[in-house]
């Protein structure tokens, strides 16, 4: 398994050199010379970067714009529903998000989102929202 921290240090070391010496730098950080050369030249990426890029629906810039739009709507008193967010994403990328995409998106960015409708109701509030309690209250009053 390739040590990503060592590769990053090696690439920083190569960037500081006038003429990159791949063999010596690879030996110094105990990395395969070809892997180091490909990463430094930008011909390959880490497995994590490649996987995340192929699996994400929106780019980080698009996600930032979507968060800003959701927060703008919420501050105007029109918080979007999950279906509204799914439609926005579909209009942006022409790919229909999965049924749990909005939930996962909200979990990833819950500190940045201001919308109330996109937050999940916690279990204690769901238990408290029982109509039997309300019926009992109004029957006794």
- Per residue in 68-106, pLDDT (tens digit) is 999 999 999 888 989 999 999 999 999 999 889 999 899
Residue 129 lies inside a defined structural domain of this protein:
no
Q: What are phi and psi of 108, to 5 degrees?
A: -65, -35
Query: Which residue range is the domain that position 98 belongs to?
Result: 56-123
Of the pLDDT bands very low, low, confident and very high (cuts 50, 70, 90), residue 24 is very high
Predicted TM-score (pTM) of the model is 0.55
Instruction: Specify whether 66 is located in the same domain as 113.
Output: yes
Torsion sign across C-alpha atoms 127, 131, 132, 133: positive
Both 63 and 117 in one domain: the answer is: yes
Q: How many CB atoms lie within 10 A of CB 14?
A: 20
Q: What is the count of structural domains for the chain?
A: 2
Same domain, 42 and 65: no
pLDDT tens figures, 36-46: 999 999 888 88
């Amino acid at each position: 398994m390739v040590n990503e921290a060592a590769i990053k240090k090696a690439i920083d070391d190569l960037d500081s050199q006038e003429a990159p010496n791949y063999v010596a730098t690879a030996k110094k950080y105990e990395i395969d010379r070809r892997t180091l050369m490909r990463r430094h030249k930008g011909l390959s990426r880490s497995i994590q970067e490649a996987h995340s890029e192929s699996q994400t629906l929106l780019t980080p810039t698009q996600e930032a714009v979507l968060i800003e739009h959701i927060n703008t709507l919420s501050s105007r008193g029109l918080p979007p529903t999950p279906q509204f967010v799914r439609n926005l994403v579909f209009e942006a990328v022409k790919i229909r998000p999965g049924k749990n995409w909005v939930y996962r998106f909200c979990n990833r960015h819950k500190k940045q989102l201001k919308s109330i409708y996109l937050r999940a109701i916690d279990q204690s509030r769901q238990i408290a929202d029982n109509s039997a309690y309300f019926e009992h209250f109004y029957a006794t009053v």
